[in-house]
């Protein structure tokens, strides 16, 4: 099959795929194979990449770049020994090839030997013409070992060489944030903006830093500059809306959130914030409309469901609140927040068994707040399930061993069970810690409170 050679990458790819369909072998020069393989690797089409590498090496057995691609695919497949063998062979041919060091570093990185990877990447720096990419790789290795200071330095060097590398800029800010160096981040970004005054990303990041510092007026100005730099920057409008909310300027916040709905596909976050703003303004009809649009857009966003539930709870419409929290639990039955809210609403409606079940599910899913253990205990007591209530409180004491409210309840439960020894033991502990909380015994266990043994302890 005859092909006309053409350096255009798209044409090379079309030729290659046509060749595969026709089951005939055509000739490509090594540069074309480079383009084809790189395209498939970027697209994640590993099967086609492997075919191109295999054919390329068969046609150009001495081409170093093609064999480097082979090593890269071996690494991707976690076939490290095969990759090392290829790289060692290439090192004998081109010991000054930076890509060999980079790929060897990749092996060390994937096997969690990050210090070794950094050493090799530093060697590659002296050999490569593309130092920005290598600094970026070194920064990532430092991130892996949570050395944020050194990571930041290397990402900065990357950005110095390529001020369009916004991934490096984001990583620098990530490091500043982790180190809680907000003012230093602002100083760095201002220096960057001196050279790149219309960088919408930098202005956006400055605004976020001021927001974290609660300097809302400066934050607002930064987001406005981001919008001036790019009036289609959805993220800047969203962040500006958040600042305006903090400043109590809800109508302006609404305007900014609504702009985002016209610029791009609507987001659940924008719907949620619109709902919150309208609720603050007392426009209930719009508030609930946007909350419902929020969960329609993203049914897994718990803040959306909880906002609807809170909306109806505040208006004492507990039945509607219950209907929506039940829908939420149907969509995500493993969300502890949902079950806590489910329990609370059922308790309001005096559905005791359902409320107890909600608190039990919340605990099973990791809600270990003190109030959860206490509320469940009181419901179990109401249901007469004394042994389960005791087990619940003892579990709570594992998390809150000094909590007097749990200790009083445990004392009362054991006394109700006629286990006088344990009841007195826990009551003595509770009284030593805080005698004022004896009201718990008086309110929850009035019969046990009047017992002679209890009254004697109170006189001590």
Q: Per-residue pLDDT tens for 382-412? A: 999 999 999 999 999 999 999 999 999 999 9
Which of 45-59, 96-110, 150-164, 170-184 is predicted with the least confidence, judged by mean pLDDT? 45-59
Mean pLDDT of 435-440: 92
Mean pLDDT of 16-45: 79
Residues 362, 363, 365, 369: is their CA dihedral positive or negative?
A: positive
127, pLDDT greater than 80: yes
Alpha-carbon gap, residue 168 to 183, rounded angstroms: 19
According to CATH, the topology of domain 265-367 is 1.25.40
pLDDT band at 47 (very low <50, low <70, confident <90, very high): confident
Q: What is the model's pLDDT at position 260?
A: 96
Alpha-carbon gap, residue 441 to 434, rounded angstroms: 13
Q: Per-residue pLDDT tens for 222-257? A: 999 999 999 999 999 999 999 999 999 999 999 999
**Who has greater pLDDT, 427 or 15?**
427
pLDDT band at 56 (very low <50, low <70, confident <90, very high): confident
Mean pLDDT of 19-36: 77
Q: What is the model's pLDDT at position 9?
A: 59
Q: What is the model's pLDDT at position 65?
A: 80
Q: What is the model's pLDDT at position 158?
A: 95
186, pLDDT greater than 60: yes
* Average predicted confidence (pLDDT) for the chain: 92
Tokens 């976020």, residue?
208
214, pLDDT greater than 80: yes
Nearest alpha carbon to residue 395 among 417, 431, 369: 369
pLDDT band at 6 (very low <50, low <70, confident <90, very high): very low
Q: Per-residue pLDDT tens for 289-329? A: 999 999 999 999 999 999 999 999 999 999 999 999 999 99
């Amino acid at each position: 099959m005859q092909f006309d050679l053409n350096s255009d990458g798209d044409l090379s790819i079309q030729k290659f795929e046509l060749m595969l369909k026709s089951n005939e072998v055509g000739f490509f020069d090594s540069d074309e194979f480079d383009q084809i393989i790189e395209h498939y690797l970027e697209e994640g089409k590993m099967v086609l990449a492997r075919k191109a590498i295999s054919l390329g090496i068969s046609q150009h057995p001495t081409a170093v770049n093609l064999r480097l691609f082979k090593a890269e695919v071996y690494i991707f497949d976690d076939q490290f020994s095969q990759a090392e063998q290829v790289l060692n062979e290439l090192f004998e041919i081109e010991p000054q090839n930076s890509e060999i060091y980079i790929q060897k570093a990749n092996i060390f990185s994937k096997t969690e030997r990050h210090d070794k990877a950094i050493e090799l990447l530093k060697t590659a720096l002296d050999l490569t013409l593309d130092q920005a990419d290598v600094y970026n790789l070194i920064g990532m290795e430092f991130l892996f070992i949570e050395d944020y200071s050194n990571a930041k330095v290397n990402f900065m060097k990357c950005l110095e060489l390529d001020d369009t590398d916004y991934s490096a800029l984001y990583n620098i800010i990530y490091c500043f944030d982790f180190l809680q160096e907000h003012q230093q981040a602002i100083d760095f970004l201002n220096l960057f903006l001196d050279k790149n005054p219309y960088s919408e990303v930098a202005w956006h990041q400055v605004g976020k830093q001021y927001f974290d510092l609660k300097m809302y007026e400066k934050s607002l100005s930064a987001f406005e500059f981001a919008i001036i730099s790019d009036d289609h920057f959805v993220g800047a409008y969203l962040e500006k809306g958040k600042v305006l909310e903090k400043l109590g300027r809800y109508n302006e916040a609404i305007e900014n959130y609504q702009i985002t709905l016209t610029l791009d596909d609507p987001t659940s976050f924008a719907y949620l914030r619109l709902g919150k703003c309208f609720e603050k303004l007392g426009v209930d009809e719009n508030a609930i409309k946007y909350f419902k649009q929020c969960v329609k857009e993203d049914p897994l966003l718990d803040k959306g469901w909880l906002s609807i539930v809170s909306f109806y709870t505040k208006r004492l419409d507990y039945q509607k609140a219950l209907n929506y929290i039940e829908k939420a639990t149907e969509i995500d039955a493993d969300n502890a927040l949902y079950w806590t809210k489910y329990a609370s609403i059922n308790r309001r409606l005096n559905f005791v068994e359902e409320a107890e079940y909600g608190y039990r599910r919340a605990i099973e899913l990791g809600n270990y707040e003190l109030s959860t253990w206490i509320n469940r205990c009181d419901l179990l007591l109401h249901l007469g399930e004394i042994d389960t209530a005791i087990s619940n409180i003892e579990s709570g004491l594992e998390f809150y061993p000094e909590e007097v409210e749990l200790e009083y309840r445990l004392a009362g439960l054991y006394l109700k069970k006629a286990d006088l020894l344990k009841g007195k033991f826990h009551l003595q502990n509770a009284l030593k810690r805080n005698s004022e909380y004896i009201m718990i015994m008086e309110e929850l266990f009035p019969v046990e409170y009047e017992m002679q043994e209890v009254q004697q302890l109170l006189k001590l």
